[in-house]
Amino acid sequence: MAIYEEISSNIRKSYLLLFFFFVIIVLLGYALGTLYGNPSFGLTLAFIISFFYTLFSYFAGDSVILRMNGAQEASKQHFPHLVNTVEGLAIAGGLPTPKIYVIDDTAINAFATGRDPKHASITVTTGCLQRLKRDELEGVLGHEMSHIKNYDVRYMMLVVMLVGITLLLSDIFLRSMWYGAGRRDSRGNAGALFIVIGLVLAILSPIVVRLVQLAISRRREFLADASGALLTRYPSGLANALKKIRDDKEPLVEAADRSSAHLYIENPLAKVRERRVNLWSTHPDINERINRLEKM
Amino acid sequence: MAWLWLIIIVAVLVLYIVLKFNQLVSYKHRINNAWSQIDVQLKRRYDLIPNLINTVKGYVKHEKTTLKELTDARTKIMGGSSMAEKAKASNQISAALKTIFAVAENYPNLKANENFKMLQEELAGTESKIAYARQFYNDNVLSLNQALESFPTNMIGSVFSFKPREYFKASGEESKPVKVEF
């Protein structure tokens, strides 16, 4: 029954995330509006923006993430083995077949995204296809399929989209504070600005940290490992794949680095985004996972 | 006051029966759905086999019996009507395919044949899809049969004439998807 609990917990957390996001943006709008002497305008604008961005994140978040990571749709003609395996696992889980994408990268990595099992996709690197054996690839895909089945994908997608933009916004505020401090001083607004920014950051940072903590759930990964093994009925497959990743001499240069490098260099969002999108970097200790799989 | 309690008890009872009944119905639908998945994959394999035989024939002159076993098993699966017969024939096909792919290792020319490679991938994929579909089917049969045997669902089951379903059995070691390494 753990899976049903996980599903409802993920759905609940997703709504909570949407709610927090809404509140934060509206607060920001109000603060800015007050600063420029028109709180109701700021409030209205924030309402509109957060409403549309929330909708956008929910319905198009997966396409944004896929594009950000340079994922290409995999055709059956070019990747028959990958497509067959995913189709098989979808049958095993009683789920619709997700869309399948490939990232051209030698690192072994994979992720799943989407808002529910009907609108989901699995992405693997070409490194996965070249360096994993059939049963190992099956193990990795089973793990991703479980993320879809458990609705982990929805929450993780929203974290990338909402926490990402929130951090980006707070970054912009910080920067405008540095730039604007001198100019505003002459207008006598600096004090108010600093107070607002201080407030915003004070509200924002603990929430953001908490959300990221929620996202990095050891339980979530162990559960995906376990239910993935239940799908393939072959825990050693994933265990061996994890071993290959652990022993990989090539550093885990995440595919995301290349496609969204311009984002990474200068803002704090890069780290979060990188961590959220990529399967392996945020996960519980890899040896612990291998141990558990081998004991199944 | 008593009649109020009576109404509450009856209402709860009816609600319970409705819920359990719906659960049984959803098991039944899932099983039928899973069975059609198996059927689709069996059919797909059935259609692929003649292509395989045609491709292999030219290369492996000395393996007539292996090919014949495959053809026979293929014919049998269409004749089989019961679940057990189908499962048995399906397992025979899986075994025969395994043998052919093992034999093919000795024929470098065959192994290099593009058509053969494509068929091998397709058949391996279909094999594992059959295994997965069977797994999903059996899981659901297990749920239904368990519900039909436990109290009090068994009473609801018998009133609405739900029947326990037959497992799609795999023979011994083939309970795992066949792994074709290449």
Determine, for residues A88 and B128 on separate chains, whether the beta-carbon distance falls below 8 Å. Answer: yes
Side-by-side strand order, sheet with A72-73: A72-73, A99-103, A119-125, A110-116
Segment A51-74, tens digit of pLDDT:
898 899 899 988 988 888 788 999
Q: What is the pLDDT of residue A292?
A: 85
Q: What is this model's ipTM?
A: 0.74
Amino acid at B104: A
Output the CA torsion sign for A160, A161, A164, A166: negative
What is the pLDDT confidence band of residue A86, given thresholds at 50, 70 and 90? very high
Nearest CA in chain A to B127: A88
The residues of A carrying an active-site annotation are 144
Rounded Cα distance between A57 and B141, Å, is 39
Its pTM surpasses 0.95 = no
**Which tokens hold the place of A182?**
């001198």
B45 part of contact set with chain A, CB < 8 Å:
no
Q: Is the pLDDT of residue A253 over 50?
A: no
Any residues with CB less than 8 A from the CB of A6 and at least 6 apart, and which? A150, A151, A152, A219, A220, A223
CA B134 to chain CA centroid, Å, is 3
Residue ranges of E strands in A71-222: 72-73, 99-103, 110-116, 119-125
Amino acid at A205: S
Nearest C-alpha neighbor of A135 from the set B126, B59, B115, B181: B181
Q: Is the pLDDT of residue A80 over 70?
A: yes
Q: Is the pLDDT of residue A98 over 90?
A: yes
Q: What is the pLDDT of residue A83?
A: 93
A141 part of contact set with chain B, CB < 8 Å:
no
Distances (CA, A) of A17 to A73, A156, A277: 29, 10, 17
Q: Is the pLDDT of residue B140 over 70?
A: yes
Rounded Cα distance between A178 and B88, Å, is 75
Mean pLDDT of B13-25: 90
Q: What is the pLDDT of residue A259?
A: 30
Nearest CA in chain B to A135: B179
Q: What is the pLDDT of residue A87?
A: 92
Which residues in chain A are closer than 8 Å to B128, comparing Cβ atoms?
A: 84-85, 88, 138
Any residues with CB less than 8 A from the CB of A147 and at least 6 apart, and which? A112, A153, A156, A224
Rounded Cα distance between A116 and B49, Å, is 37
Mean pLDDT of B109-129: 86
Which residues in chain B are closer than 8 Å to A84, comparing Cβ atoms?
A: 121-122, 124-126, 128-129
DSSP B175: G
B165 part of contact set with chain A, CB < 8 Å:
no
Segment A169-184, tens digit of pLDDT:
766 666 665 665 444 4
A171 part of contact set with chain B, CB < 8 Å:
no
Relative to beta strand A110-116, strand A119-125 is antiparallel
Which residue did the predictor score with more confidence, B71 or A141? A141
Q: Are the C-beta atoms of residues B160 and B24 closer than 8 Å to each other?
A: yes
Mean pLDDT of A96-114: 87
Which residues in chain A are closer than 8 Å to B142, comparing Cβ atoms?
A: none
Residue B120 C-alpha, separation from nearest chain A C-alpha, in angstroms: 10
Determine, for residues A94 and B136 on separate chains, whether the beta-carbon distance falls below 8 Å. Answer: yes
Q: What is the pLDDT of residue B15?
A: 93
Q: Are the C-beta atoms of residues B45 and B126 closer than 8 Å to each other?
A: yes
Residue B137 C-alpha, separation from nearest chain A C-alpha, in angstroms: 9
Cis (ω within 30 of 0) for the bond into B152? yes
A94 part of contact set with chain B, CB < 8 Å:
yes
Q: Is the pLDDT of residue A216 over 70?
A: no
Nearest CA in chain A to B125: A84
Q: Domains for chain B: give ranges and CATH numbers.
A: 32-175 (1.20.1440.20)
**Which tokens hold the place of B69?**
């076993």
Strand, helix or coil at A201? helix
Percent of chain A with pLDDT over 70: 69
Which residues in chain B are closer than 8 Å to A87, comparing Cβ atoms?
A: 125, 129
- Give the closest of B125, B133, B175 to A84, CB-based: B125
Nearest C-alpha neighbor of B93 from the set B80, B108, B106, B105: B80
A88 part of contact set with chain B, CB < 8 Å:
yes
Q: What is the pLDDT of residue A96?
A: 92
Q: Is B83 exposed, middle or buried (0-12, 13-18, 19+ CB in 10 A)?
A: middle
Rounded Cα distance between A149 and A94, Å, is 9
Q: What string of DSSP letters covers B126-164?
A: HHHHHHHHHHHHHHHHHHHHHHHHSTTHHHHHHHTT---
